[in-house]
Structure 1
Amino acid sequence: MALGNVHYDDKLASVYDQMYPIELDTPLAVDFIAGLAPAGGRVLELGVGNGRIALPLAGRGFQVYGIDGSQAMLAILRERDEKGQVTTIEGDFTETGTGLTFDVVTLVLNTFFVAATKEQQVACLRLVREQLVPDGKFVLEAFDPAPYHAMEKQELSIRHLDEGAVMLDTLTVDRAHQLMYGTHTIIDGGKPETKHHVLRYAFPFEIDLLAELAGLRLVDRWEDWERNPYTARSPRHVSVYERADAGA
């Protein structure tokens, strides 16, 4: 689940599920996405990672494809995918397409922001549009960046991974360019290694504008996978887009 600036190598891939302990969110996300696709339909996940969403969708009978830039994450997915149900492509989802069209394309868990320039984000959305069937839907989940945009100094946090390991995270925000600079350092008794990443965050209505430039339009926006209303206090959004020419 990474472009060139976010390195999910073997070390980070091995603790990814501990980094983002969102087991309760997964079935809700899968239900939401499945509800937008016809039975047996074709689904593409950008930043497919280790298969958290893709594998349950494949288990429901959908034809699932996934693009990801991390060999380590894709290796875990393939190990879990004992029946070979998910077709994976290693690549940058702002540049790499499948040559196919899909009923649903998904980009979840803030992965859109890994595209660290406005141009990359528009390129991603244009590829999404190209890979949607005429009445297909694109589902994007991302955090609302308002709290981070207000940050004035570097923040340090600690994540507990397991009984013998913790992760030290730092985060710095460049508000002028809407960039978040972060590091992950795992302390587990071995030699500590620090990985760096850059995210370009975008506000929901800015994403809508980028989507319009790419030939997409907003259909629905919710606070979460349970379809609670999106408000000014919502910490994240689940947004559904369609091709601008849908229904034409």
Structure 2
Amino acid sequence: MTLGNAIYDQKLANVYDRMYPIGEDTDQAVEFIAAHTPPGGRVLELGVGTGRIAVPLARRGLTVHGLDGSEAMLAELRRRDPQETVTAQLGDFTEEGTGQVFDTVTLVLNTFFVAITKEQQLGCLRLAHEQLVPGGRFILEAFDPAPYHHLQKPDFSMRHLDERAVMLDTLTVDRSQQLMLSTHTIVDGGGAPETRKHVLRYAFPFEIDLLAQLSGLRLVDRSEDWRGTPYTASSLRHVSVYEPDTHSPWPSATAG
């Protein structure tokens, strides 16, 4: 799979929800996505991970399908969702579709950037378009890379995972290719520290809009967060909503 650089193994899957402890943000994301989906509608989450978003959406009566490239993350999803209210599928969302269509396709928490070439990002957006019903919505959440683009030296930080474990992070940036290399080292007293590396290809919002346009998608709304705060030049992230462009040369998916 082309996303192999960013697939979470069991070690990272076990701590993923503690890496991103964003309960309130999760609630707002679920509200936002549900509001853009017809009652009882169908949702596809690309990079579904542990089901932080997908499971609450399914509990609202939506039919939810999740695609992820990590078996370890899908195992965590099954633990969170033993009743299998979310249909989970192993696959690379830059190359593989589900063969189905949905009212809403969503890609949250910077997951779009694990596609580390423009071609992979374009493939992701084209597949998102192909899996949308006419009039459907594609919702993408990502950070604005402007603060990182001019990073001159490695950035070091530490995350507290629990009372016995911390994660040490190192971030370096290659501006010429818009690549970010993140190194995660987990220190938990369970033996020698273990290090994992992930590469992201960041893209600026206007660049994503252009790739989306080439994929048959049109931007209809952009906010700073899931609460709908207006997006401005100082915003550090964005939640962008796209719809199939009826004037695009790329054909829309059709239900049935």
- Normalised by the size of structure 1, how large is the TM-score? 0.97
Structure 2 Cα separation of the partners of residues 31 and 7 of structure 1: 27
Structure 1 Cα separation of the partners of residues 123 and 71 of structure 2: 22
Structure 2 Cα separation of the partners of residues 95 and 120 of structure 1: 8
SS of 1:64's equivalent in the other structure is strand
Structure 2 Cα separation of the partners of residues 39 and 146 of structure 1: 37
Q: Is the 8 A contact 1:180 1:200 kept in 2?
A: yes
The answer to whether residue 84 in structure 2 is matched with residue 84 in structure 1 is: yes
1:79: Cα distance to partner? Answer: 1.4
- Cα deviation code 1:193-220 (max 9, x no counterpart): 1111100000000000000011111000
Aligned to 2:210: 209
The answer to whether residue 122 in structure 2 is matched with residue 103 in structure 1 is: no
Mapping 1:160-199, distance limit 5 Å: 160-189=160-189, 190-199=191-200
* Identity %, equivalent residues: 70
Amino acid across the alignment from 2:199: V
Structure 1 Cα separation of the partners of residues 119 and 45 of structure 2: 20
1:112: Cα distance to partner? Answer: 0.2
SS of 1:198's equivalent in the other structure is strand
Q: Is the 8 A contact 1:7 1:195 kept in 2?
A: no
Aligned to 2:24: 24
- Cα deviation code 1:12-59 (max 9, x no counterpart): 011111111111101100000000111110000000000000000000
Mapping 1:233-248, distance limit 5 Å: 233-245=234-246
Q: Which aligned runs of 4 or more in structure 1 are off by greater than 2 angstroms?
A: none
The answer to whether residue 121 in structure 2 is matched with residue 121 in structure 1 is: yes
1:6: Cα distance to partner? Answer: 1.3
1:82: Cα distance to partner? Answer: 2.1
Structure 1 Cα separation of the partners of residues 3 and 50 of structure 2: 15
Structure 1 Cα separation of the partners of residues 89 and 192 of structure 2: 32
- Cα deviation code 1:132-179 (max 9, x no counterpart): 000100000000000000100011111111111111111000011100
Structure 2 Cα separation of the partners of residues 122 and 71 of structure 1: 24
Amino acid across the alignment from 1:195: R
Structure 2 Cα separation of the partners of residues 81 and 17 of structure 1: 15
Aligned to 1:221: 222
Structure 2 Cα separation of the partners of residues 82 and 157 of structure 1: 35
1:3: Cα distance to partner? Answer: 2.4
Q: CA RMSD in A?
A: 1.4
Structure 2 Cα separation of the partners of residues 170 and 79 of structure 1: 30
- Cα deviation code 1:48-82 (max 9, x no counterpart): 00000000000000000000011111001111112
Aligned to 2:37: 37
Aligned to 2:14: 14
Structure 2, unpaired ranges of 5+: none
Structure 1, unpaired ranges of 5+: none
Count of residue pairs the alignment pairs up: 247
Q: Is the 8 A contact 1:139 1:241 kept in 2?
A: yes
Aligned to 1:140: 140
Aligned to 2:231: 230
Structure 2 Cα separation of the partners of residues 187 and 207 of structure 1: 36
Amino acid across the alignment from 2:157: S
Structure 2 Cα separation of the partners of residues 126 and 7 of structure 1: 21
